Each structure stands twice: as structure tokens, then as C-alpha cells.
Amino acid sequence: MAGISKSFVPGNPVLDDIHLSVEVGEVHAILGENGAGKSTLMNVLIGLVRPDRGHLALHGVVVDPDTYSPARAAELGVAMVHQHSTLIPAMTVEENFFYGATQRAWRFHPSSARRRLRALSERFGLEVPAGARVDDLSVGQRQRAEILRALDRGARILILDEPTAALTPGEAEQLFPALRRLRDAGRSLVFISHKLDEVEAVADRVTVLRRGRVVDTLSAQAVEAQQLGRLMLGRDLPALARAPAPERPEGPRLELRGLSAPGLREASRLRDLNLTVHGGEIVGIAGIDGNGQRELEEVLAGVRARTSGEIRVEGRALEPGVRRLRDAGVGHLSGERERAGLIPGLRLYENLILKGTYDDESVFPRGWFRPGPARAAARRRIADYGIVPPDPDADMAVFSGGNAQKLAVAREFEREPRVLVAVNPTRGLDVGSARFVHERFLALRSRGGAVLLISTELDEVLSLADRVVALVRGRLREVPAGADRAAVGAILLGASP
């Protein structure tokens, strides 16, 4: 890619004279803050976004910008593995191989699809149950299926946009050897991640973007995570300042007593959970996705019925219901902002008023909506959280993943929750923004707020929480105080503490 520039708004380039070369047989990481332009650059590469200037050459041949499109990109061997699965959930992995391959549909044969799938899967060490419905697969299996499908269609350049954001550490570790094998087989991989240690572990070279410009391209072996962070942010990130927990935490703020609830599957059914979170305390729930995290989140948000047990807030048992929980001061930062958080197609300020400000007299006097104050409130949040673009009227759909997450966080803190239930709150955030959110959590804790942090990022739980418990197969298990990463990991995998 040479001299690529793109502005969505005149005079405000998202990509500014970008040069990027990805070699044959290379894992090339792209790093940059939220909104730096990574996904946009990849959308240019895949033919979804047409640049204003610059050109693109694939395997030495300059492509014609007038005819370049995702279909053309696929013909030329460029494929993108999106963070959100594009497989058809109600079909098996094999059947999914059929879809989108219309030009040879008449030749499609299930047994040949199965054969090709098996051959690719063995060759690159990407395991998937070929005959299983996509619905029943884990996030990691879906992703592997998606990579295999791209390879089956002849992908030589494979773009992975934050492939590890939703993976468990174990699944991420499985992905890396496969990426190396693909590289050694002469494929080119573009790897986007906010996790600097992963970049160090898997990339050959790294290109760092800052505000739409290339800061540098370096050899990944020769740099350290800290240096990458500095290049990305343009400054050093000091260590997280963490005040000691209050001596005697305030009284119980959130209590779960004998809480049981049905699960999406047997392993994630909640079984007799007992837990207390005090004011001025962050309790972390460590765990691997699929062990009841989502069920617990949904019960605490009021959208999943429980079979037995109690939820108490400040000593009062609450009847189930979204509104009751919110009125009791329980904030909920969803782990899946795309599914249960933000609405593309609505404007930024409209998204900000979705949860709760409807009873705010300045915005809804006597039930009439006044957009002026809502916009002004949105402007304050934008400034506070450094949300880009800083436009209250912008459609939610144009915000980068990290900026959308910042908005979701801002909305939850708006109400100064008595109890905040937060699920994977920094997923998709760059290191600077993640730090910012962590500082907000700690500040809420110093103001006496209670935080229940449900996170699959073990490092996040260990660095933030005053007390850690593990959620394993729908049950809570004690984690001894001071347990390190390895010890918690063993508990999560089911070994006895």
C-alpha cells in the first residue's frame, strides 16, 4: 500500500499517506490507539473502503481502483477474518464451506468439502469439528473454521482484526502456532491486536499507526512492549496507581445468596452462588468464557430469570427485573456492546440517553424530549473520555471499536452506580484507554462504590480486584489471597486450589 489517504470528513484524514508493505511469509502486526485507522486501512486492503489517494499492489501487480471490491480482493487472494463470525450458525462447518463459493456451486460435494477441510485443518493445526453446527462451537473453534474457509478459497493474504480479543488465553495460545505455520507456508498475515505481548510473541514486523499516520515499521524481535506502547501513544504509560483498599470496607452492598439460574448449556448453569461485595471494594470473578459468566451477567442485569436464591442490594432483597435493579443503583456494563449495549443507526447522544436518563428532568421535562441538554451532556462525556470523533450527532456505526466501548463506559458512570457489574470492560481498548477505564474503576471504589468485575482477562482481574473468586462450571470457588496467575489458572482449569 503506497501513499494511501482517506478522509470521511473533508480536511480530517483518517488515513494520511500510509505506506505499508507486507511480505510473503510474514506476520505483520498493526498497532495503534483506538481510532488510529487500523480497521479503515484493512478495509481499504479488502476493497470495502476506496481511498482518496494512493495505490495498492498485490503480489506485485497494481490493482485498478475502479474495479477493486471485496469480490475482486477475494479473487486476488485477500481475505479478512472478522472478529464477529460470518459463518451461518444453523449450519455445520462443512456446510458453511459451500456458502459464498457460488461460482463452483454445481461442483460442491459434501465429502470433498470434508476432505479439504480435514487436509487444511491437519496441515495448519487448526482443529474444528467439521460436522458440528456452528451454533455449538466455541469462539475459538468458529474463528478457526473461518480461517480454514478463507484458506479453502485460496487466501494468500489473511487479515485478522483483533482475533484474540474474545479468545480465552488457552485458545489464543493455540492460534499462534497455526499463524506461524501459515507464515512458514508462504502466506502473509496482517495481525491487529491491542495486546502488546501477543504482538511480540507472534509478529515478525510491526507497523505502528498514530492518528492515521505511520509512526514506524520495526522488527518485532528488536522491540519491547513498553517501547511499542510509547510509539503508539506518543508518551509513556506510568504504572497503575492503586490506593490500598479501605481498612474496613463499608457494609454489604451486593449480596448473592444461594443464587441458581438456568444456563445456555449444562456447564454454564449457575449453581448456588454465594458472594458479598462491599462498598469500596472491587471483587473480581475470574473465569473462562462459557462457565456461567454470561448467565451471571444476565441475572444481575435482570434479563435472565433465576430458579432460586436472592439478590440483595444494600441489605434489601430485590424482585427480578431490569428496572428494579437499575433503580436500586446497580449499573451494568455489558460484555457484548454490539448485542446488548449500543445501537448503530442511532446517534451518539441518543445512545447516551438509552439507559436511564429518561427520568432526568432536564432532558425529559414532563416526558418531552429536549435534545439540547442531551447533546450538551454528550459533549461533556466526549471531552471527559476523549471519544473520537467528538461529534454528538455522529452515527454510532462510524465509531471504532474502542471508541464505542468508551461511550458504553461513560454512560454507566453517568449515574454514579452504587454497584457496578462490569463484564470484560476493556475488551477492544488500547493500552492507554484501558488504563483510563481502570482508573475510573479505582476512583469509583475510593468513592465507596462496589464493583463486581467479571472478566476473562486474568491480568485485569489480578491487577484491579481486592478479592478474587473463580467461576468454574457454574460454581464459585475461593481463590486464596495473593494467588498468582499460575495458581488462578490451575483453579480455572478445574484443579483443586
Ligand X SMILES: Nc1ncnc2c1ncn2[C@@H]1O[C@H](COP(=O)(O)OP(=O)(O)OP(=O)(O)O)[C@@H](O)[C@H]1O
Q: Interface with ligand X includes 83 (CB under 6 A)?
A: no
By CB under 6 A, the residues from 327 to 346 that bind ligand X are none
CA angle 176, 179, 184 (to 5 degrees): 130
The secondary structure of 214-238, three-state, reads: EEEEEEHHHCCHHHHHHHHHCCCCC
Tell me if 37 sits within 8 A of 30, measured CB to CB: no
C-alpha cell at 49: 473502503
Nearest CA to 469 out of 434, 497, 449 is that of 497
For ligand X, the closer of residues 203 and 296 by Cβ is 203
Alpha carbons 447 and 49: distance in angstroms, whole number: 45
Counted residue by residue, the chain has a size of 497
- Picked from Mg ion, ligand X, none, the partner binding residue 164 (CB below 5 to 8 A depending on kind) is none
CB atoms within 10 A of CB 195: 17
- Picked from ligand X, Mg ion, none, the partner binding residue 399 (CB below 5 to 8 A depending on kind) is ligand X
Q: Interface with ligand X includes 309 (CB under 6 A)?
A: no
At closest approach, how far in Å is the CB of 192 from ligand X? Answer: 7
Which residue lies nearest Mg ion, judged by its C-beta? Answer: 39
For ligand X, the closer of residues 36 and 461 by Cβ is 36
Q: Interface with ligand X includes 163 (CB under 6 A)?
A: no
Instruction: State the binding string over 404-433 for ligand X (x if CB under 6 A, else -).
Output: --------------------------x---
- Picked from ligand X, Mg ion, none, the partner binding residue 341 (CB below 5 to 8 A depending on kind) is none
Tell me if 178 sits within 8 A of 164, measured CB to CB: no
User: Among 139-147, 343-351, 399-407, 476-484, which window interacts with Mg ion (CB under 5 A)?
Assistant: 399-407
User: Among 57-65, 200-208, 378-386, 401-409, which window interacts with ligand X (CB under 6 A)?
Assistant: 401-409
Q: Interface with Mg ion includes 39 (CB under 5 A)?
A: yes
Q: Interface with ligand X includes 377 (CB under 6 A)?
A: no
Provide the CB-side half-sphere exposure for 239 (13 A, CA). 4
Peptide bond into 389 cis (omega under 30): yes
Helix (H) or strand (E) holding 487: helix 485-492
**Of residues 28, 31, 38, 229, which one binds ligand X by CB under 6 A?**
38
Q: Is 256 helix (H, G, I), strand (E, B) or coil?
A: strand
CA angle 248, 452, 431 (to 5 degrees): 110
At closest approach, how far in Å is the CB of 404 from ligand X? Answer: 8
For ligand X, the closer of residues 14 and 492 by Cβ is 14
Q: Is 198 helix (H, G, I), strand (E, B) or coil?
A: helix
Helices marked H in 91-167 — which ranges?
93-98, 110-124, 139-152
**Of residues 13, 35, 392, 474, which one binds ligand X by CB under 6 A?**
35
For ligand X, the closer of residues 8 and 99 by Cβ is 8
Binding site for ligand X (CB under 6 A): 8, 14, 32, 34-40, 388-389, 398-403, 430
